[in-house]
Amino acid sequence: MEHTAMIDAKIENIVQVNWIITLKNDSKLIGKIGFYRIQPVYFRAEIGFKLLLSLVLAESIQKL
């Protein structure tokens, strides 16, 4: 619950906004993408993403 509260606080304070990345036919989390270092005054933000490489690689190897 603490993690969810932290995310909600960052969205409310316009610090960062994140979305999760899943595989198309699976709801397993493989990463996240979002806006970071948001500067509303200048209408700017950085876009970043993080992939859980172990899950992505495991899925790719299984498909081979």
Query: Is pTM, for the whole model, over 0.85?
Result: no
20 vs 33, higher pLDDT: 33
Question: Which pLDDT value is given to residue 1?
Answer: 59
Identify the CA nearest to 46 among candidates 37, 55, 57, 56.
37
Local confidence band at 60 (pLDDT 50, 70, 90 cut-offs): low
Beta strands in the chain (DSSP E): 17-22, 29-39, 44-51
Local confidence band at 48 (pLDDT 50, 70, 90 cut-offs): very high
Could you read off the pLDDT of 4-26 as tens digits, one per residue?
A: 777 677 667 667 788 888 888 88
- Burial call 14-51: b when 16+ CB within 10 Å, e when fewer: eebebeeeeeeeeeeebeeebbeebeeeeeebeeeeee
| CA–CA dist 17, 25 (Å, integer) | 24
